[in-house]
Structure formats: structure tokens, C-alpha cells
Structure 1
């Protein structure tokens, strides 16, 4: 699996039951992951293409805002995350922000000694649609199904045909990665959630395929709806599978769009 947003999030979720990080450490890790994702959308000052292995330097105030931790809480949590092998960081004194790096859990290399093992987030989940998402340093977030004139699409059953059910999704396929990304978020909200069997993982991935092929959702839109639904106090209790995500997508989209537009009034983040 390529080193990017989805692989980092999935690998972290898989380690939670074994390493048992605190809620503060989990909050800081996801804050760093989200801030790195934002940083990837802005051009490098050196002119070089950014990679997920590059360091980035969010301010302490920004980390406090995204994680909900105090400055002291961040210091404690980052030490534990480093010890667990999730991140590396380099302090530059009080007047300069600390440089953070997210580690590739599939590699034995230290983050500050490695210049590879990384890919751009656009190639990790967005595929060929990535070029449409970079003109204003933002991405299309959540799209409602606009074309409802095709009765075949609106009447499609969520279950795949017997032939389709036999289809295998590899670990690096976008369908599988998005399915496991949702599972990782569910596991984050409830560490006691039962693990999926291999058969269930394939079924979850197939529902993502249906969302892409039949519902015309882009991988980026699906990812953003997963993020929103698992952050919402009501929907995270109801969206516990990709089948439910697909079924409730249009119901959730108006509220999700409204909230994001309120939070980012200066950016056109929806189409």
C-alpha cells in the first residue's frame, strides 16, 4: 500500500488495539494527519513537489485548535506517539514551530533520514480527478446526486450480482482503501468494535465500488463524507458500514454541505 493519507490512517487504526494510545494521543495524531493533508495542497517554497515523507511545521496554536489539547498536552502526546513509532519531530526552540513528520509504519526507516516511501495524496485516493481539485488549494468535498433522471440508477439495488460479489479487491485498490478508511474511523470512535472478516472487507469494498460506478461519487467525495459522518454525533452511531454510507449519502449531504460552507465561507469547496 502506498504511503499516503489513507494508508497512514488505516495503519494507525490497526495499531490502536495493540498499542492502546490515549484519546489525547489519538487526537494529536489525527490533527497532524489532517494538517499534513492541508499542507500537501499548497505549493512548496522550494519549488519541489511535496511528499508525505516531508516535514511540516504547524504552529502550537493550530495544533491546539485541531486536537483540542493544551500546549502541555501536545508535548506529552507527541513524545508517546514518537515512542510508538507513529511520528517523528524536531524542536527548533520557542521562536520557531516544531517540525513534524508522519512515519510510514510499513518501513523501518526513520522519517528524518528517509526521502522516499511517499506519494501525493492526489494519487493515493483521487486518481485522475486530482487535477480538478488544486486550482484554489481546496478540494470538492461532498456532492449530492444531481442526475436523478436515469431511473436505472435510482432503482439499483445496493447488493451486487453474484458475479460481482466474487470480485476480489486488492489491498491497494481505492475501493478497499476507502472501505478500510471508514472502518478505521469507526474503530477510532469505538475501539471495542468487532474486527471485519476477509469476506466482510470485500463486501465493504464492493459497496464503495457501487458508489463510484453507479452513484457517480468520486473517491475524494466519499472520503470527505466518511470524515464528516464519523465526526457527527448522530451519524457516527448510524454509519457503521459502507452499505449504510451509500444508503444515507444523499440524506447526509445537505447538512454536511451546509456545515462546511459555514466553516469555510471564503472557499468554494462544493460543486
Structure 2
């Protein structure tokens, strides 16, 4: 196990704010699951696999803000406290440093989103009414957490990690997160999203483009489910095929490229000289 990863993990778990944040995230997720009434179509239940996937994709936008906060806190902590001078005096390889830092950064961000969705699941379980179907399937919640939460978290963290370790500026890290959010909202307009019901209908070609270009995958999710009947949306997940599969693979590849470029450009002496 990476020594730096274990050190950072131990430092985080020993401080009580980490547990307070976990409690708050579960509470926010529970509130969303128990009170949100965002309908995706007539006759479609709020706890249908299609709606759960849609809500998970929308809530994955929170990964941007979670990742920005953790990036500013975690990735700049050593330089802010001058601890990097001591850290880099040890025989620490560039791979060990980058692997350890990114692993704890990614894990902290993903676990935060996972707790948010765990709260969302709990909130929906406690909910009753005609808009809820009695049947429960945990896979309906786990599947979108993997295709949206895990992959989006990997992409966002890789992008912000790249900016943080190469630009060395907190402001640029924050701006990078905001740019991701703006890019998503622009693409969402062209995806025929239920969330953008007031927007003009788009051609199939534009929907296909947005399905490929959407970094968070919701446009491809809507595109693959466009032919689903109400019954299918209530009983079946949107399988990761076609444009949804291509989109997820594209942004997984981009995330890996960000990490590779970060490894190529990052050097300890540059980090120290630009503090």
C-alpha cells in the first residue's frame, strides 16, 4: 500500500470534521430522496430505475463542488504549511507522490458522493405515496452510482488534479471546476433533457453530438432511453450500450490522459519553486 496514501488517510480519519461532513452529506441525500418531486414523465415512478439514474446523474454534478473543496484543502495543504520541504527531503519518487495524492483525493471525493447517494436511498425508502412503486431493488441505485458517480468522479478529480499540480494556483483549480459545470449546462440544453423541458426540441444529430460531448454522461443516458416505453422506464435500467458506453469510455480515457500528463509535467523542484 502506498505510504503517502496511508499517511493522508490516517490524517483525515483522526479529525472529527470528516465525520461531521459524512453526517451532513447523508442528511442532505436523505432530504433529497424524501422530498424531491422531479418528474421525468407521466406515469413514471419517482423510484423507477430510469428516474433513479436521472437523479443520480444530476446529483453527480455535486462532485464538481466536492472535488474543488477537497482539491484546495488536500492538494495545496503541504505547500501552504511548508510541509512539502520536509516531505520532498525523503527518498520519495514522483510516482509514489502522484499515486498517493490522487488515490486519497479520488477516494475522499467518491466516498463523499457515495454517502450522499446512501442518504438519497434512505430517503426514498422512507417515502410513501402513489408516485412510489412498492418494489425495491438495490441494483437500481448501485448501477447509476457506478456509471455516473464513479466515472464522473474519476474524470473530475483527474482534471482538477492536473490543474492543481501543474498550475499550482488555487484560483485556477476553482475556475476549472466552474468551467466543467458551465460546459455541462450548455450541452444539457441540446440533449432534450427532462430537466430542460422548456428548451427547443433538437435534431437527432445534435442529440448525438451532445451524447458524445457530455462529460457527465446524462445526455447519452437520455439518448439511449429515448425509445423506452413508460413500462420499460419503470422496470428496466438504461444499459451501458451505444452512445452511453462510448461516452463513458471516452471520458475514462480522457481522465487517464490527464493523469499521464500530470505525471509527465510534475517535478518536485518546480512545485517548491512556485510556492
Tell me, yes or no, whether TM beats 0.5.
Answer: no
Specify which structure has the higher proportion of helix: 2
Of structures 1 and 2, the one with the larger relative CO (CA 8 A, separation 6+) is 2
TM normalised by structure 2 equals 0.27
Rg larger for: 2
Q: Normalising to structure 1: TM-score of the pair?
A: 0.28
